[in-house]
């Protein structure tokens, strides 16, 4: 018997004939609800859509304010599930107006005969999971109920308008409008004194048009937004040609892109471009009028790095100053308190120029906050403004507001969603919530949603959910529920992704900061549309990882676990390497592996500028050794760190960890001398160790000549280089110098034993494999020599060694020997700090600007070096400090941003 009939027989008997039994109830008839209804019906699910408005359209039904348009190009902001539909509809403009988008959604509803299953004017007042019946019971504002096995919230991210939180709104005797609930009849502003409160996307679109009509317009701005000219008109010929040239491929590229719009990934970084080149790129982007383009195509670091971002932000502020004639108004309109893109940037038509009109006044609420609204207007701390009309463009209780508006939603065990989300929304994939069986959200918190082309994200979610319902039906499962483990893992992955971008540095509706009392945290998934899609696919291919499935006649299925344990950028790097299907590095032979590494390094982004980089040679034990000296731009003399590169004693050279050396040189304010020690198999054990020691001694003796601070030096290294650094400390202690004040050991080789768990757990799949390590050992050191402390420092005497920071990575075969060394140092009385980098692999911390989530680890390293050198720690206060290069942990940044 189909689900709906089972439901009918149960619920009608118990609850009376006002209950509508269906398989699936969908709330909302916007982009998501319409597509859901179409797909669910085609799949044979009895479906009803419940919609509060009296027609389809969702956000485009409610937001009818003057100037309302999409700000993703219309050719991208469209359904792609049916090529026939694509052919049947042609947009008239690059960015369609609200009426045109509403017509489109009406056209879609008619084309697939959707309205007959939509109950308009129907609001859900409560939703309760009935565990015995395995059904949701939805109560509506009309008193009727709907009984459904699956309940899907397609309520949109920006559909619950936020109250303006200003005293006296109700006292105002003039006209009041909310952009998010605009009346259907035309609103006339002619001859009126109008106030607009709010300068987000809605205000910025409406202000120029209201200004054209009003006798006087006063704009009340609390925080200025970054806005770019839409340059609207016909759709750009190049984009249309791309789409029409190969529609299927264009759409597919969009599905796998980061934003849901098919632009390539930008690789050039800001510091590789000259001022003129950056300006040229910026001017081109400005002329294009395309948010996604400017957010992704200028330089790769602008969305992830405060310095790269600040360059772009300043270019935009320059445009504002060039457009707005009154310098004070221009200054007030120029955002300084958040990185570009961290708060939703806007597309405008004539916005900044509107402030040159004589009938427009900007009130900077940062200087004179609103104190109250009265019968006749608005009072600030300094002035009184009498107005006839107030337009509230004050935004939404975003992402969670519309979901929580159904209250209560009661899941398993009688727990309500508002209880479960009291400290912020928790979801698995942004689609489901543990404890709420058979409940799905389309673009819920945790989905790429508002950071993507919504049309693409919605289609992905709809397809994924409907495909799961079909698969469950085929397998005989009747319930699905996310596990707590999976949900907690998703929260961690979300947080990891959020450290990648700059969204955490702004107080925005993305983080819940616009609603007083709302829990704070970056709510949308910041890891990108394509990665998100691949994760959802992986959940399925791993037997619905993180879901419990049950049914009356089948065994319960639960493959519990976390879907992403790697850091997001590590996952991308490893997937990219896996896609390259490279043969094992050891199969190239030593020369081939060296050539490969050189080529691989050449393709990586260049390291950042430092004060200067000097090439030199120093006398080694058997002839000169090359070195590279990285000097900070700050006045010296600086403490010196002697650095040894990684490469298994076989590969690499003084240049191969260049980005890492530059990064630590900048962060610590110290000279880094990267030493080119001799390699195996030409020079076997103990050459590398003895070269390392000899180089350190020479550098310490010549510190002043090198421009460094005389006295103790520090040593640092990565992988086999960390092995050399550790050994150098032991040799220096035993051979009477040089004086070493600290050792930084990053993923060190410390022992010749291969039976620790990490050697097995991470034997393959994380670039440095167990067999590659065997190969390195074989080339460098015969089995008889391996227990010598000059290659296995863990077997040496550890008392009296310099203080240390030992960094290890979770997915590294060398993890456990690094931890063992740190533990052994501590046991020997050496002050030691451990950095266990969760979700990272062997190369993570040195892959500067590729593995951005390694930043906090490098910050910790720089702090440790400063401590070793007896220098003061650096403190960060907030965004301006971050922008000025004073770094902080993500936690510090978040709290400072608040
Ligand atoms: P918004 O971006 O949240 O902007 C609300 C504005 O109102 C902000 O300037 C805010 O200042 C201000 N505000 C809120 N409460 C206030 C108060 N009590 N006193 C003074 N000012 C107050 O909302 P929105 O403009 O409606 O846009 C929301 C999102 O919808 C956009 O970011 C975008 O994603 C989407 N949208 C898209 C389009 C489009 O596609 N073209 C158009 C409209 C909206 P603070 O910043 O200081 O809080």
For residue range 264-315, list pLDDT tens digits in order: 988 899 999 999 999 999 999 999 999 999 999 999 999 999 999 999 999 9
What is the pLDDT at residue 14? 40
What is the pLDDT at residue 595? 94
Confidence grade of residue 872 (pLDDT, cut at 50, 70, 90): confident
How distant, in Å, are the alpha carbons of 67, 503, 505 from that of 203? 9, 21, 23
Pocket test for ligand 1, best of 65, 68, 98, 201 (most atoms within 8 A of CB): 201
Confidence grade of residue 602 (pLDDT, cut at 50, 70, 90): confident
448-484 residue pLDDT tens:
999 999 999 999 999 999 999 999 999 999 999 999 9
Say yes or no: CB of residue 199 within 6 Å of ligand 1.
yes
Say yes or no: CB of residue 815 within 6 Å of ligand 1.
no
217-251 residue pLDDT tens:
999 999 999 999 999 999 999 999 999 999 999 99
d(CA 411, CA 133): 13
Q: Mean pLDDT, to the nearest integer, of 499-525? A: 94
How distant, in Å, are the alpha carbons of 127, 206, 857 from that of 246? 44, 36, 44
Residue 589 Cα to ligand 1 midpoint, Å, equals 59
What is the pLDDT at residue 2? 40
What is the pLDDT at residue 138? 97
Confidence grade of residue 6 (pLDDT, cut at 50, 70, 90): very low
Residue 506 Cα to ligand 1 midpoint, Å, equals 14
d(CA 35, CA 31): 6
What is the pLDDT at residue 267? 86
Tell whether the model's pLDDT for residue 260 goes beyond 60. yes
CB count in 10 Å sphere of residue 17: 7
* Chain-centre distance for alpha carbon 677: 39
DSSP state of 498: H
d(CA 774, CA 433): 45
Tell whether the model's pLDDT for residue 883 goes beyond 80. no
Looking at ligand 1, which residue's alpha carbon is closest to its atom 39? 70
What is the pLDDT at residue 13? 38
What is the pLDDT at residue 895? 28
157-192 residue pLDDT tens:
999 999 889 999 999 999 999 999 999 999 999 999
Helices (H), 336-434: 351-354, 401-404, 417-420
> Under a CB-based contact definition with an 8 Å cutoff, are residues 672 and 661 in contact?
yes
What is the pLDDT at residue 601? 84
Tell whether the model's pLDDT for residue 878 goes beyond 50. no
Name residue, tokens 């709907």. Answer: 146
Q: Mean pLDDT, to the nearest integer, of 139-145? A: 94
Residue 460 Cα to ligand 1 midpoint, Å, equals 27
Name residue, tokens 């032991």. Answer: 730
d(CA 852, CA 862): 16
Q: Mean pLDDT, to the nearest integer, of 587-601? A: 92
309-367 residue pLDDT tens:
999 999 999 999 999 999 999 999 999 999 999 999 999 999 999 999 999 999 999 99
Q: Determine the atom of ligand 1 nearest the C-alpha atom of 201.
A: 25
Beta bridge partners of 190: 214
Q: By three-state DSSP, how is residue 388 classified?
A: coil
Say yes or no: CB of residue 365 within 6 Å of ligand 1.
yes
d(CA 772, CA 598): 17
d(CA 447, CA 425): 12
Helices (H), 95-228: 98-111, 201-213
Q: Determine the atom of ligand 1 nearest the C-alpha atom of 166.
A: 18
373-382 residue pLDDT tens:
999 999 999 9
d(CA 25, CA 161): 24
What is the pLDDT at residue 873? 77
Q: By three-state DSSP, how is residue 396 classified?
A: strand
Angle subtended at Cα 357 by Cα 352 and Cα 358, rounded to the nearest 5 degrees: 145
Say yes or no: CB of residue 70 within 6 Å of ligand 1.
yes
Q: What is the CA radius of gyration of the chain?
A: 31
What is the pLDDT at residue 667? 96
Nearest residue to 286 (alpha-carbon basis) of 315, 308, 323: 315
d(CA 596, CA 895): 44
Pocket test for ligand 1, best of 30, 95, 395, 451 (most atoms within 8 A of CB): 395
Average pLDDT over the chain, rounded to an integer: 94
Nearest residue to 109 (alpha-carbon basis) of 100, 97, 117: 117
Looking at ligand 1, which residue's alpha carbon is closest to its atom 33? 201
pLDDT above 90 as % of the chain: 92
What is the pLDDT at residue 213? 98
Nearest residue to 411 (alpha-carbon basis) of 135, 143, 145, 141: 135
Confidence grade of residue 409 (pLDDT, cut at 50, 70, 90): very high
What is the pLDDT at residue 4? 42
Say yes or no: CB of residue 165 within 6 Å of ligand 1.
yes
> Under a CB-based contact definition with an 8 Å cutoff, are residues 566 and 811 in contact?
yes
What is the pLDDT at residue 887? 39
Looking at ligand 1, which residue's alpha carbon is closest to its atom 4? 200
How distant, in Å, are the alpha carbons of 28, 444, 764 from that of 158? 12, 11, 44
Residue 514 Cα to ligand 1 midpoint, Å, equals 9
Tell whether the model's pLDDT for residue 790 goes beyond 50. yes
Beta bridge partners of 628: 615, 674
Q: Mean pLDDT, to the nearest integer, of 132-148? A: 96
Confidence grade of residue 7 (pLDDT, cut at 50, 70, 90): very low
Say yes or no: CB of residue 164 within 6 Å of ligand 1.
yes
Looking at ligand 1, which residue's alpha carbon is closest to its atom 36? 201
Residue 282 Cα to ligand 1 midpoint, Å, equals 25
Nearest residue to 869 (alpha-carbon basis) of 661, 677, 705, 636: 636
Tell whether the model's pLDDT for residue 144 goes beyond 70. yes
757-783 residue pLDDT tens:
999 999 999 999 999 999 999 999 999
Tell whether the model's pLDDT for residue 621 goes beyond 70. yes
pLDDT above 70 as % of the chain: 95
Q: Determine the atom of ligand 1 nearest the C-alpha atom of 392.
A: 7
Say yes or no: CB of residue 802 within 6 Å of ligand 1.
no
Angle subtended at Cα 427 by Cα 425 and Cα 428, rounded to the nearest 5 degrees: 165
What is the pLDDT at residue 195? 98
Q: Determine the atom of ligand 1 nearest the C-alpha atom of 199.
A: 9
Looking at ligand 1, which residue's alpha carbon is closest to its atom 12? 198
Beta bridge partners of 614: 629
What is the pLDDT at residue 472? 98
Pocket test for ligand 1, best of 66, 178, 198, 207 (most atoms within 8 A of CB): 198
What is the pLDDT at residue 606? 74
Tell whether the model's pLDDT for residue 876 goes beyond 70. no
Say yes or no: CB of residue 344 within 6 Å of ligand 1.
yes
Tell whether the model's pLDDT for residue 889 goes beyond 50. no
Helix axes 529-541, 568-580, angle to 10 degrees: 70
Pocket test for ligand 1, best of 222, 260, 342 (most atoms within 8 A of CB): 222
What is the pLDDT at residue 600? 84
**Could you tell me which residues come within 8 angstroms of residue 14 by beta carbon, excluding any fewer than 6 positions away?**
none
Confidence grade of residue 3 (pLDDT, cut at 50, 70, 90): very low
What is the pLDDT at residue 425? 97
822-843 residue pLDDT tens:
999 999 999 999 999 999 999 9
d(CA 30, CA 128): 24
> Under a CB-based contact definition with an 8 Å cutoff, are residues 575 and 530 in contact?
no
Beta bridge partners of 146: 20, 138
Nearest residue to 95 (alpha-carbon basis) of 183, 201, 250: 201
What is the pLDDT at residue 890? 33
97-133 residue pLDDT tens:
999 999 999 999 999 999 999 999 999 999 999 999 9
> Under a CB-based contact definition with an 8 Å cutoff, are residues 815 and 808 in contact?
yes
Say yes or no: CB of residue 98 within 6 Å of ligand 1.
no
Q: Return the HEC string of 523-570.
A: CCCCCCHHHHHHHHHHHHHCCCCCEEEEECCEEEEECCCCCCCCCHHH
d(CA 540, CA 550): 16
DSSP symbols for 104-117:
HHHHHHHHTT-GGG
Say yes or no: CB of residue 73 within 6 Å of ligand 1.
no
> Under a CB-based contact definition with an 8 Å cutoff, are residues 860 and 835 in contact?
yes
Tell whether the model's pLDDT for residue 817 goes beyond 80. yes
> For the ranges 69-78, 138-147, 697-706, 868-877, which has the lowest average pLDDT?
868-877
């Amino acid at each position: 018997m189909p689900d709906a009939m089972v439901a009918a027989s149960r619920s009608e008997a118990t609850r009376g004939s006002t209950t509508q039994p269906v398989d699936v109830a969908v709330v909302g008839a916007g982009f998501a609800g319409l597509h859901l209804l179409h797909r669910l019906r085609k799949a044979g699910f009895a479906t009803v859509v419940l919609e509060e408005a009296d027609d389809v359209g969702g956000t485009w039904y409610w937001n009818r304010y003057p100037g309302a348009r999409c700000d993703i190009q219309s050719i991208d902001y469209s359904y792609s599930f049916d090529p026939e539909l694509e052919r049947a509809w042609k947009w008239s403009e690059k960015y369609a107006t609200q009426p045109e988008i509403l017509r489109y959604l009406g056209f879609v509803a008619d084309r697939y005969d959707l309205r007959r299953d939509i109950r308009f004017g129907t609001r859900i007042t409560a939703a309760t999971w009935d565990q015995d019946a395995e059904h949701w019971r939805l109560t509506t504002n009309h008193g009727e109920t709907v009984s459904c096995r699956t309940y899907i919230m397609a309520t949109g991210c920006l559909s619950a308008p936020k109250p303006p939180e200003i005293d006296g709104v109700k006292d105002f005797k003039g006209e009041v409008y909310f952009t998010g609930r605009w009346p259907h009849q035309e609103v006339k502003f002619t001859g009126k004194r109008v106030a607009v409160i709010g300068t987000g996307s809605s205000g910025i679109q409406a202000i120029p048009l209201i200004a054209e009509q009003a006798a006087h317009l006063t704009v009340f701005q609390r925080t200025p937004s970054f806005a770019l000219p839409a340059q609207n008109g016909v759709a750009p010929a190049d984009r249309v040609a791309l789409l029409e040239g190969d529609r299927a491929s264009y759409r597919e590229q969009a599905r796998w892109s980061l934003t849901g719009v098919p632009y390539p990934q930008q690789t050039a970084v800001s510091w590789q471009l000259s001022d003129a080149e950056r300006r040229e790129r910026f001017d081109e982007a400005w002329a294009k009028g395309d948010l996604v383009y400017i957010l992704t195509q200028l330089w790769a670091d602008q969305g992830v790095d405060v310095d790269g971002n600040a360059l772009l932000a300043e270019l935009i502020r320059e445009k504002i100053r060039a457009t707005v004639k009154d310098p004070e108004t221009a200054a007030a309109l120029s955002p300084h308190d958040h990185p570009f893109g961290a708060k939703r940037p806007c597309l405008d038509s004539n916005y900044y120029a509107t402030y040159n009109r004589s009938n427009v006044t900007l009130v900077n609420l940062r200087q004179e906050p609103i104190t109250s609204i009265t019968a006749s207007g608005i009072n600030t701390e300094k002035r009184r403004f009498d107005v006839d009309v107030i337009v509230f463009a004050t935004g939404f209780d975003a992402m969670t507001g519309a979901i929580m508006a159904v209250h209560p939603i009661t899941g398993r065990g009688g727990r309500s969603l508002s209880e479960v989300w009291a400290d912020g929304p928790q979801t698995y994939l942004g689609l489901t919530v543990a404890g709420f069986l058979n409940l799905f959200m389309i673009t819920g918190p945790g989905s790429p949603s508002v950071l993507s082309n919504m049309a693409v994200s919605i289609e992905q979610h709809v397809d994924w959910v409907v495909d799961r319902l079909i698969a469950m039906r085929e397998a005989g499962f009747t319930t699905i529920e996310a596990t707590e483990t999976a949900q907690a893992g998703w929260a961690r992955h979300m947080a990891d992704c959020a450290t990648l971008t700059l969204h955490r540095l702004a107080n925005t509706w993305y983080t819940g900061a616009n609603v007083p009392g709302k829990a704070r945290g970056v709510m949308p998934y910041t890891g990108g549309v394509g990665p998100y899609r691949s994760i959802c696919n992986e959940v399925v291919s791993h037997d619905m990882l993180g879901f419990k499935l049950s049914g009356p006649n089948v065994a319960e299925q639960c493959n519990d676990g976390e879907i992403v344990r790697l850091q997001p950028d590590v996952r991308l790097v490893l997937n990219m390497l896996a896609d390259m299907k490279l043969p094992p590095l050891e199969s190239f032979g030593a020369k081939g592996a060296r050539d490969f590494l050189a080529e691989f390094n050449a393709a990586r982004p260049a390291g950042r500028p430092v004060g200067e980089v000097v090439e030199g040679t120093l006398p080694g034990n058997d002839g000169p050794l090359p070195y590279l000296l990285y000097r900070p731009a700050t006045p010296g003399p600086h403490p010196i760190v002697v650095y040894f590169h990684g490469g298994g004693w076989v590969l690499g050279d003084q240049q191969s960890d260049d980005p890492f050396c530059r990064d630590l040189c900048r962060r610590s304010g110290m000279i880094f001398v990267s030493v080119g020690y001799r390699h195996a198999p030409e020079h076997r054990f103990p050459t590398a160790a003895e070269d390392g020691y000899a180089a350190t001694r020479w550098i310490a003796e010549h510190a002043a000549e090198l421009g460094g601070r005389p006295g103790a030096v520090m040593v640092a290294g990565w992988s086999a280089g960390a092995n050399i650094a550790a050994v150098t400390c032991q040799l220096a202690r035993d051979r009477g110098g040089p004086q070493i004040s600290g050792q930084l050991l990053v993923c060190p080789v410390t022992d010749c034993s291969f039976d620790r768990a990490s050697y097995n757990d991470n034997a393959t799949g994380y670039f440095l494999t167990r067999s590659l390590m065997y190969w390195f050992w074989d080339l460098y050191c015969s089995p008889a020599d391996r227990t010598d402390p000059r290659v296995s420092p863990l077997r040496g005497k550890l008392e009296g060694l310099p203080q240390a920071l030992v960094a290890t990575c979770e997915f590294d075969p060398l993890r456990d020997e690094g931890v063992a060394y740190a533990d052994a140092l501590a046991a020997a009385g050496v002050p030691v700090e451990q950095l266990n980098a969760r979700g990272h692999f062997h190369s993570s911390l040195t892959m500067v600007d590729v593995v951005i989530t390694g930043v906090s680890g490098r910050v910790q390293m720089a702090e440790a070096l400063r401590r070793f050198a007896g220098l003061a720690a650096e403190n960060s206060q907030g965004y301006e400090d971050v922008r000025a290069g004073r770094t902080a942990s993500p936690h510090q940044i978040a709290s400072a941003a608040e």
